[in-house]
Amino acid sequence: MLITLKEIFKYAGDNVAIGAFNIHNLEFIKGVVQAAEETQRPAIMMINEAVLKYGGIEILGGAAIAAAKKASVDMAVMVDHGEDIDFLKKCIDFGLDIMFDGSHLPFEENIKLTKMMADYAHSHNRSIEGEIGQLGLSEDGDEETEQKITSVEEAVTFASKTDIDVLAISVGNVHGFYKGEAKINVPRIKEISSALEKMPIVMHGGSDIPSEIMRASIQAGIKKFNIATDLKHAYALTMYDLMHQDTMPIQPLQLFPVVADAVAAVAAEKIKIFSSEV
Ligand code: 13P
């Protein structure tokens, strides 16, 4: 069933976070839904703003919403890293929850725009995630930016002034593969989650983090874990193997279900970790 981003946190708990997975096409949608149904856990499908502009709000966004509605478990569908106000308003009008990413903006500007988007989202019964602090690498992993660890003070001020439902923080997490081992500031997660009490906090850049660090982050208070790269990697590797067989398969149905299964396997493995099942 389709529920909102805000509602899905009724399934989170002291040692339980919700898995949020970036989807790019039908195989990712099918894979993530399959993983949620197999594990009988809720999950969030996220569509990056640029991917949604390519795939179309009604086409790709509509497919994800339709799949969530048909799923046997509760699912939310949201835009990830949205920056384009007019586009995001259209997404909300269509029925998508959003993340407004103003983390690169000056603090006060981020507050102002995030609050404006929160008012718009809430007046349409949709939820919103905001972000404060800055991650080390961009979503594509090719652009180095200065990392800014979120302070407790900033997180509290931002959460109270913007009226958001969920807050993404920067605690050493980066998008894409980590250079060396992930160095996550677990004590800072604990400080922020204690200070914010009820507001769920989010770890972006959830791929390529050892499971012990994922578990420690969840115990410290992370309630939503974002995963993109690990699924894209599984998808690409599986497609590569299929394409490099002696006879290259050209029938879509020889390819699509296989890559969807590869996406599902990785998503299910993560969901089990997030649910403290393994
Ligand atoms: P990864 O690609 O590192 O998993 O990050 C995903 C993410 O944070 C999407 O918002």
Listed ranges 31-45, 124-138, 142-156; the one with the highest mean pLDDT: 31-45
Mutation test residue for ligand 1: of 129, 177, 226, 230, the one with most atoms within 8 Å of CB:
226
Name the residue with tokens 């404006």: 116
Whether the CA torsion 42, 25, 52, 67 is positive or negative: it is negative
pLDDT band at 139 (very low <50, low <70, confident <90, very high): very low
Predicted model pTM = 0.96
Query: CA-to-CA distance for 153 and 209, rounded, in angstroms?
Result: 26
Q: What is the pLDDT of residues 30-51, one digit of tens each?
A: 999 999 999 999 999 999 999 9
Residue at 217: amino acid letter = S
Distance CA 74, CA 2 (A): 6
Using a 6 Å cutoff on CB, does residue 80 contact ligand 1?
yes
- CA pair distance 6, 259, nearest whole angstrom: 30
What pLDDT band is residue 135 in, cutting at 50, 70 and 90? confident
Triad 1, 205, 129: Cα angle to 5°: 50
- CATH of 5-133+210-274, picked from 1.10.10.920, 3.30.1330.10, 3.40.50.1580, 3.20.20.70, is 3.20.20.70
Report the chain's C-alpha Rg in angstroms: 18
Distance 55 CA to ligand 1 centre (A): 19
Residue ID of nearest Cα to ligand 1 atom 1:
205
How many CA atoms, within 13 angstroms, populate the side-chain half-sphere of residue 70? 11
* Distance of alpha carbon 46 from alpha carbon 29, whole angstroms: 10
pLDDT band at 146 (very low <50, low <70, confident <90, very high): low
Distances (CA, A) of 261 to 35, 164, 195: 9, 35, 40
Cβ neighbours of residue 190 closer than 8 Å, sequence gap 6 or more: 220, 221
Residue nearest to atom 8 of ligand 1 (CA): 204
**What pLDDT is recorded for position 122?**
98
The CA angle 224-153-133, to the nearest 5 degrees, is 50
Ligand 1 atom with the smallest distance to the CA of 207 is 4
Atom of ligand 1 nearest to the CA of 232: 2
Q: How far is CA 75 from CA 68, 103, 110, in A?
A: 5, 26, 28
Rounded to the nearest angstrom, the gap between the alpha carbon of residue 129 and the centroid of all alpha carbons in its chain is: 10
For residue 195, the CA-to-ligand 1 centroid distance in Å is: 25
pLDDT category at 144 given cuts 50, 70, 90 is very low
Alpha carbon of 207 to ligand 1 centroid (Å): 6
Q: Is the pLDDT of residue 17 over 60?
A: yes
Atom 5 of ligand 1, nearest CA residue: 205
Residue 189 in contact with residue 220, Cβ under 8 Å?
yes
Q: Does the CB atom of residue 176 touch ligand 1 within 6 A? A: yes
Residue 114 — very low, low, confident or very high, per pLDDT cuts 50/70/90?
A: very high
Asked whether 16 and 274 are in contact (CB, 8 A), the reply is yes
d(CA 209, CA 233): 14
**Residues identified as active-site:** 80
Q: Which range, of 140-154, 158-172, 253-267, averages the lowest pLDDT?
A: 140-154
Does residue 129's CB lie within 6 angstroms of at least one atom of ligand 1?
A: no
Torsion over CA of 182, 197, 165 and 23, rounded to 10 degrees? 30
Q: Which atom of ligand 1 is nearest to the CA of 230?
A: 4
CA 48 to ligand 1 centroid distance, Å: 10
pLDDT band at 193 (very low <50, low <70, confident <90, very high): very high
- Would you say 79 and 47 are in contact if contact means Cβ atoms under 8 Å apart? yes
In one-letter notation, the amino acid at residue 127 is: S
206 lines ligand 1 (CB under 6 A): yes
